Amino acid sequence: MHIAIPDDYQDIADRLSCSSLLAGHTVVRYREPAVSLDELANRLHLAEVVVAIRERVIFSRALIQRLPNLRLIALVGRAATTIDYAACKDHGVLVSTGVSNAPVAPAELTIALMVASRRNIALEADGMRRGALPSTLSHRLSGSTLGIFGLGTIGSLVARAGAGMGMRILAWGQAESAAKAQAAGYDFAASKTDLFERSDVLSLHVRLRPDTRGIVGPDDLARMKPTALLVNTSRAELIQPNALLAALRQGRPGYAAVDVYENEPVLNGDHPFLAMPNVLCTPHLGWAEWDNFELYFRECFEQIVAYAEGRPVRLAAAR
């Protein structure tokens, strides 16, 4: 079979041990994103299988109808909001999915961003590299309030780490979050307003669904302290478009640490956050570590092998 792997940013798919599963097939990889629909369609035109690395490629109807050989989109991960499932059905394209959920890596990055931002690590390290004197005072984590919006699997790990550093945990979310907060002995906010007003550090851990898209708006951000930090390693679309940029310019919150963006990848430094000293940015690294990649890509490649052998594959559900 002809297998295409677009947007392999880390240039890593062929260096994973699980890549041996695709031996005997023609595998074509692209690291740089296509600059247009025409270029993307040309790259994938021969592919019978396309490996969808999370949500890096938008599989629109306009794209799918230009891929006459496509029979399977194999997801790296469990779900994607960037696939037109109706178009796949109309063109006889299956979408396979992984099953694993590995929360440790994104939780670790969340904690790393939180610590790095509050203690001005990146800012001062860059200054030291340039030969400058220390120029800032940072904010202590111990004794401050860590707000967790969504006490799910990742949020629970972040809360546990924050508590281990002496932070007071304030959770908010649905009934399941309330139950987990009670069981762990955490405070549960009286409302979303209460969460945003009281948090010194506020970390978002909400799944992106139609009902959560834009769940954080300008009014929420305006309630944050001027010394507060907002951390987002979940999805950029949880925050209403441009709301965080406007809020930072207005000084509430005073800081942000972000790993996710509405348009990824961010290339050539083309994002206003990158010009703001009070914002710490990383290029969607939450899941990007060796163990995660081996796990998620292995599940994806196993589905491709099953399809090639005529065995059933796990079908992804439309979201």
Domain edges within the chain: 2-101+290-308, 104-281
Using CA atoms, how far apart are residues 44 and 64, in angstroms rounded to an integer? 10
Q: What fold does the segment set 2-101+290-308 form as a domain?
A: Rossmann fold (3.40.50)
Q: Which residues contact 272 (CB under 8 A, 6 or more apart)?
A: 245
Query: How many CB atoms are closer than 10 A to CB 218?
Result: 16
Residue 6: its pLDDT value, please? Answer: 98
Give residue for tokens 């590299």.
Answer: 129
Would you state the pLDDT for residue 81?
A: 87
Q: What is the mean pLDDT of residues 260-289?
A: 96
Q: What is the pLDDT of residue 319?
A: 66
What is the pTM assigned to this prediction?
A: 0.93
Rounded Cα–Cα distance for residues 30 and 57 (Å): 12
CA distance 205 to 153: 9
* The pLDDT value given to residue 84: 97
pLDDT mean over 245-251 = 98
302 has catalytic annotation: no
The predicted structure's pLDDT at residue 180:
97
Which among 108, 124, 264, 289 is annotated as catalytic?
A: 264
Name the burial class of residue 85, with classes exposed (0-12), middle (13-18) and buried (19+) by CB atoms within 10 angstroms of its CB: middle
Active site (annotated) includes residue 262: no
Residue the block writes with tokens 């990742």 = 154
* Tokens read off for 216: 């954080």
Burial of residue 158 (number of CB atoms within 10 Å: 0-12, 13-18, 19+): buried
Closest CA to 66 of 29, 26, 93: 93
Task: Enumerate residues 6+ apart whose C-beta is below 8 A from 44.
Answer: 4, 6, 50, 63, 67, 70
Residue whose C-alpha is closest to residue 138's, from 154, 153, 117: 117
Condensed to tens digits (0 to 9), the pLDDT of residues 136-165 reads: 999 999 999 999 999 999 999 999 999 999
Question: Taking all residues of the chain, what is their mean pLDDT, rounded to a whole number?
Answer: 96
Helix (H, G, I), strand (E, B) or coil at 229: strand
Q: Which residues pair with 59 in a beta bridge?
A: 83
Express each pLDDT in 191-228 by its tens digit: 999 999 999 999 999 999 999 999 999 999 999 999 99
> pLDDT tens digits, residue range 280-290?
999 999 999 99
Q: Phi and psi (nearest 5°) for 215?
A: -70, -20
CATH superfamily ID and name for 104-281: NAD(P)-binding Rossmann-like Domain (3.40.50.720)
In this model, does residue 1 exceed pLDDT 70?
Answer: yes
The pLDDT-based confidence of 179 (bands split at 50, 70, 90) is very high
pLDDT (0 to 100) of residue 113: 98
Q: Decide if 318 contacts 86 (C-beta within 8 A).
A: yes
How far apart CA 47 and CA 4 sit, in angstroms, is 6
Active-site hit among 235, 252, 298, 299 = 235
Q: Supply the pLDDT for residue 50.
A: 98
pLDDT tens, 20-76?
999 999 999 999 999 999 999 999 999 999 999 999 999 999 999 999 999 999 999
104-281: same fold as 2-101+290-308? yes
Catalytic residue among 205, 223, 252, 284: 284
At 78, the pLDDT band (50, 70, 90 cuts) reads confident
Q: Catalytic annotation on 271?
A: no
For the stretch 80-137, pLDDT in tens is 889 999 999 999 999 999 999 899 999 999 999 999 999 999 999 999 999 999 999 9
Q: What is the mean pLDDT of residues 217-244?
A: 98
